[in-house]
Amino acid sequence: MIIIISSAYLSFKTVLQYIQCVQESLSNLLVFKAVTSAQRALLKMPVLER
């Protein structure tokens, strides 16, 4: 009985970690897209001073 509960708890923990990793990668991807679009906008702007 205890073994079943502990294995279920472990699988639950791994699922939670997986969800957290997915959320982190999604937020990183959004940040990366925002940064790249900002860089493109800056590159398209006429260079005033460097």
Read off the pLDDT of residues 31-45 as tens digits, 9 standing for 90 and up. Answer: 999 999 999 998 887
pLDDT at 50 over 60: no
**Euclidean distance between CA atoms 44 and 27, whole angstroms:** 26
Which DSSP category does 46 fall into? P
pLDDT at 22 over 60: yes
| Structure tokens given for 21 | 């990793």
